[in-house]
Amino acid sequence: MGYVDLHLHTTASDGVLSPSELVRYAKAKGLQSVAITDHDTIEGCEEGLSEGERIGVEVIPGIEISAEHSPGSMHILGFFLDIHHPFLNERLKYLQRARAERNPKMVEKLRRLGVDITFEEVVKASGGGQVGRPHFANVLLEKKHVRSFQEAFDRFLKKGAPAYVDKFRFTSKEALHFINEAKGVGVVAHPNTLGMNGYWELEKLVLRLVEEGLQGIEVYYPEHSAADVAKYKTLAERHGLLVTGGTDYHGMEKNGLDIGVGRGEMKLPYSIVENLKTVRSRSLSGR
Ligand code: AMP
Ligand code: ZN
Ligand code: FE
Ligand code: FE
């Protein structure tokens, strides 16, 4: 039994590799199963699935939804989605429209700040996929308005910075609802970004999410310390939740994290996928 990586981005959102390139790369790295989890979109799944079938890699159609949350940020992963499900597609279209309304406003803000940038340039930088702030950052860098990708966020694009425009987010309840409706399994991503103060606060939040349909926790993640991993594992065990893991690979050149292994420390067994499948079929037969 091989290894798996259940958190990956493609050019459908802000990843560097196209879905087929990603799946071929996974194969070359010896992975048996991978989940495509682009931000707010399933546009990369179909291509990834057919490439996976062709070359013999299991591809799990997934997503990563940004949900309304404070003080930190909450991302919810959905695995084994029925990507043709009408309700899922309608909800995602709604998100795309919200994003499409926000992006020109950010261009406008940048222009008012004296930055020479056009919406066309940002669209071009997105390579035809969903347009997001990382693409703004790439244009700012390319046109030498900033000296690094991070500077673009710090000076202009991060939350609270002068060119930032908030975008609509679903609540966790809404996100888990459409993931579950589309036969998917909902998992809270990288809990270390939730900004919860201590174990009890985190547990309280997780229990609320379970009420809303959550079925797992992303325990293994490159930014989690050994203590984080132990904490999230305990939390999952106590509440009968699935344990998942992934690298959040966007392209090595972005942050030095590689598919399947992160910084070299990750090795996720196929049993993670088997457990996901078991829980999914149990919930589907209970509907
Ligand atoms: P968007 O979906 O357009 O709001 O862009 C979100 C993406 O921007 C995230 O997935 C990150 O890749 C990136 N991002 C958000 N905040 C920061 C930050 N402070 N520094 C660097 N990258 C960030
Ligand atoms: Zn991303
Ligand atoms: Fe995330
Ligand atoms: Fe991610």
Per-residue pLDDT reduced to its tens digit, 133-164: 999 999 999 999 999 999 999 999 998 999 99
Task: Give pLDDT tens digits for 182-207.
Answer: 999 999 999 999 999 999 999 999 99
> What residues contact 262, with CB distance under 8 A and at least 6 apart?
221, 222, 247
Looking at residue 127, its pLDDT comes to 85
φ/ψ (deg, to 5) at 183: 65, 20
Burial 202-221 (b: 16+ CB within 10 A, else e): bbebbeebbebbbbbbbbbb
CA distance 44 to 26: 15
Q: How confident is the model at residue 253 (pLDDT cuts 50, 70, 90)?
A: confident
pLDDT higher than 90, residue 239: yes
Closest by CA to 99, choosing from 143, 145, 66, is 66
Is the CB–ligand 1 distance for residue 153 below 6 Å?
A: yes
Question: Which SS3 state, helix, strand or coil, does residue 114 take?
Answer: coil
Testing ligand 1's pocket by substitution, the residue of 138, 141, 157, 249 carrying the most ligand atoms inside 8 A of its CB is 157
Is the CB–ligand 1 distance for residue 40 below 6 Å?
A: no
> What residues contact 1, with CB distance under 8 A and at least 6 apart?
32, 269, 270, 271
Task: Give pLDDT tens digits for 118-132.
Answer: 999 999 998 888 899
User: How many angstroms does the Cα of residue 64 sit away from the middle of ligand 2?
Assistant: 9
Closest by CA to 101, choosing from 44, 166, 42, 152, is 166
Q: Nearest ligand, CA of residue 75?
A: 3
Q: How confident is the model at residue 110 (pLDDT cuts 50, 70, 90)?
A: very high
Closest by CA to 60, choosing from 209, 244, 258, 219, is 244
Q: Region 159-177: what's the mean pLDDT? A: 96
- Between 16-20, 23-27, 53-57, 252-256, the lowest mean confidence (pLDDT) is in 252-256
User: How many angstroms does the Cα of residue 217 sit away from the middle of ligand 3?
Assistant: 13
Q: Region 78-82: what's the mean pLDDT? A: 98
- Rounded to whole angstroms, what are the CA distances from 196 to 58, 71, 183, 199? 34, 8, 29, 8
Question: Ligand 1, closest atom to CA 99?
Answer: 3
Is the CB–ligand 1 distance for residue 158 below 6 Å?
A: yes
- Sheet containing 74-79, strands listed edge to edge, beginning at the edge strand earlier in sequence: 63-67, 74-79, 185-188, 216-220, 242-245
pLDDT higher than 80, residue 51: yes
Beta-bridge partners for 36: 8, 61
- Chain center to CA of 102: 20
User: How many angstroms does the Cα of residue 64 sit away from the middle of ligand 4?
Assistant: 6
Closest by CA to 155, choosing from 142, 165, 145, 143, is 145
Instruction: Please tell me whether the overall predicted TM-score, pTM, comes out greater than 0.85 for this model.
Output: yes
Expressed in percent and rounded to 5, the helix, strand and coil fractions of the chain are 45, 15, 35
Testing ligand 1's pocket by substitution, the residue of 37, 101, 133 carrying the most ligand atoms inside 8 A of its CB is 133
Place of tokens 């992160």: 262
Looking at residue 255, its pLDDT comes to 87
Instruction: Write out the two tokens for 155.
Output: 């000076």
Is the CB–ligand 1 distance for residue 7 below 6 Å?
A: no
Closest by CA to 136, choosing from 126, 144, 128, 127, is 126
The alpha carbons of the chain give a radius of gyration, in whole angstroms, of 19
Looking at residue 133, its pLDDT comes to 94
Looking at residue 261, its pLDDT comes to 96
Share the mean pLDDT of the chain: 96
- Rounded to whole angstroms, what are the CA distances from 281 to 175, 180, 211, 250? 20, 12, 19, 30
Beta-bridge partners for 64: 39, 77
* Amino acid at residue number 61: P
